[in-house]
Amino acid sequence: MNTPSENDLPGLPLIEPDTDATYTLDVIASLTGVTSQTVLHYQEQGLISPAAGHEPDAGQFDAEALRTLRRIEHLRSTCEVNESGLKLILELMDEIERLRAELRTRR
């Protein structure tokens, strides 16, 4: 079970997402504390993607989308980052994760 940290958003449930699970639009909105319209806006802007194998209008999201939405809301609420900044930060965070994974495979 996750323990609360100072980076957690207040009032949101602490969960360990199932990597194979998919979430409906309403569920992912509820888990992240944003509106369904906001989730769809982030999808339209390319900040999150639908679950693999699902059409963009199917309203199905995976654990990665849930994780990304939580990152976005953390950056927006604590750092007051705008959408351009969010895109850049998310791209850099993805690149860091990719490089770390590459390093792990080389060891």
How far apart are alpha carbons 84 and 81 in whole angstroms? 8
- Tokens 């323990």 correspond to 3
Predicted confidence at residue 16, as pLDDT, reads 63
Kindly report the pTM of this predicted structure: 0.74
Number of Cβ atoms within 10 Å of the Cβ of 93: 13
Which mean pLDDT values do the consecutive 10-residue runs of the chain (107 residues) have? 48 62 93 95 93 81 93 93 94 95 93
Q: Give the bridge partners for 60, in sequence order.
A: 24
pLDDT at 54: 76
Which residues fall within 8 angstroms of residue 73, CB to CB, at 6 or more apart?
A: 9, 32, 33, 34
pLDDT at position 3 is 45
**Structural domains in the chain, sorted by start:** 22-106 (1.10.1660.10)
